[in-house]
């Protein structure tokens, strides 16, 4: 009887500890985006030397394979890329801009209680503070289960509109069967002209009710347990480590530096600059080299 009472008391204390106001957790996520489509395009480009291809592959690896840290409590979280020293030749404004175009950027703060988020972004030398409502994710419970890192997880899926400025969402256009005119071939030397953006994507999430918080990596939330894996077909974000009630508590608060802007306004700003870059590149015969400045 004493053992039964002890077990019940221990379970109650554990439950209350998880739901106490001071409760915090930390999760490490590894994000990897498939680069197969881009490598195929490079292999088909006869103008690229083996050294150029190797350099591009190394740069893509640094952009498409990242580690993120999620610090969370009952109602809020901050999601941020793990800080790493930049390798020689991989830094610079161009790489930072590409990182921003791939959904990267400072601290992503989610408050599930207020259903709002704030994220600081740097784009073309200008700092933005994107503030908006959390997306209303219509999750469908699939009933499948699996174990991730020792936690029992359940599968859920959702159909989401893609983020147009996020470079990871681009797909190579299907090869056209019609004959391509010479002038059109020249236009197609521009990288962006060979890509297209789908309107929506099917996202698969695996969450664990064993960590009963309404949180997950990046923009994902809304399930009855911490999301340990996200897969949208091109990008997989997988949790590699969870620490509950870490000794060192994180300061979970929204970033505050930058020009306040909505998500739609920010997306339009990035798309406009991407279009300008494409037009400038075509105007220079595909060689690029122009500079742009953000308006204040």
- Tens digits of per-residue pLDDT, 181-205? 545 544 444 445 555 656 778 999 9
Q: Residue 15's pLDDT is what?
A: 52
pLDDT exceeds 70 at position 261 = yes
In this predicted structure, the answer to whether residue 34 has a pLDDT above a threshold of 50 is yes
- Supply φ then ψ for residue 219, to 5 degrees: -85, 0
CA distances from 16 to 26, 70, 232 (A): 18, 22, 35
pLDDT in tens, 205-231: 999 999 999 999 999 999 999 999 999
For the chain, the average pLDDT equals 76
Instruction: List, for residues 74-115, the tens digit of each pLDDT value.
Output: 999 999 998 766 554 444 444 455 555 544 568 999 999 999
Checking if the pLDDT of 147 tops 70, the result is yes
State percent of the chain over pLDDT 90.
44
pLDDT of 241: 96
Judge if pTM exceeds 0.85: no
Q: Side by side, which strands form the sheet with 140-148?
A: 140-148, 151-161, 200-208, 226-231, 235-244, 25-33, 65-72, 76-81, 107-111, 116-123, 126-133, 259-261
């Amino acid at each position: 009887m004493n053992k039964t009472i002890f077990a019940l008391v221990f379970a109650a204390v554990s439950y209350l500890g998880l739901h106490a106001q001071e409760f915090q957790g930390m999760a490490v996520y590894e994000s990897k985006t498939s680069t197969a489509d881009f490598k195929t395009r490079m292999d088909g480009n006869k103008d690229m030397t083996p050294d150029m291809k190797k350099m591009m592959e190394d740069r893509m690896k640094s952009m498409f394979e990242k580690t993120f840290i999620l610090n969370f409590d009952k109602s809020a979280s901050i999601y941020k890329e793990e800080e790493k020293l930049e390798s020689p030749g991989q830094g610079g404004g161009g790489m930072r801009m590409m990182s921003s175009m791939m959904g990267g950027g400072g601290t992503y703060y989610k408050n599930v209680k207020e259903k709002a988020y704030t994220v600081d972004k740097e784009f073309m030398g200008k700092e933005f503070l994107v503030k908006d409502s959390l997306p209303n994710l219509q999750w469908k419970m699939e009933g499948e289960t699996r174990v991730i890192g020792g936690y029992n997880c359940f599968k859920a899926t959702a159909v989401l509109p893609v983020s147009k400025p996020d470079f990871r969402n681009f797909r190579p256009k299907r090869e056209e069967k019609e004959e391509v005119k010479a002038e059109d071939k020249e236009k197609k030397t521009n990288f962006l002209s060979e890509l297209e953006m789908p309107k929506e994507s099917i996202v698969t999430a695996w969450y664990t009710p064993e960590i009963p918080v309404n949180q997950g990596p990046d923009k994902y939330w809304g399930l009855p347990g911490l999301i340990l894996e996200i897969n949208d077909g091109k990008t997989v974000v997988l949790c590699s480590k969870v620490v509950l009630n870490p000794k060192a508590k994180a300061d979970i608060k929204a970033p505050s530096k930058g020009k306040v802007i909505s998500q739609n306004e920010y997306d339009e700003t990035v798309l406009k600059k991407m279009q300008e870059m494409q037009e400038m590149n075509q105007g220079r015969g595909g060689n690029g080299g122009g500079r742009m400045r953000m308006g204040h």
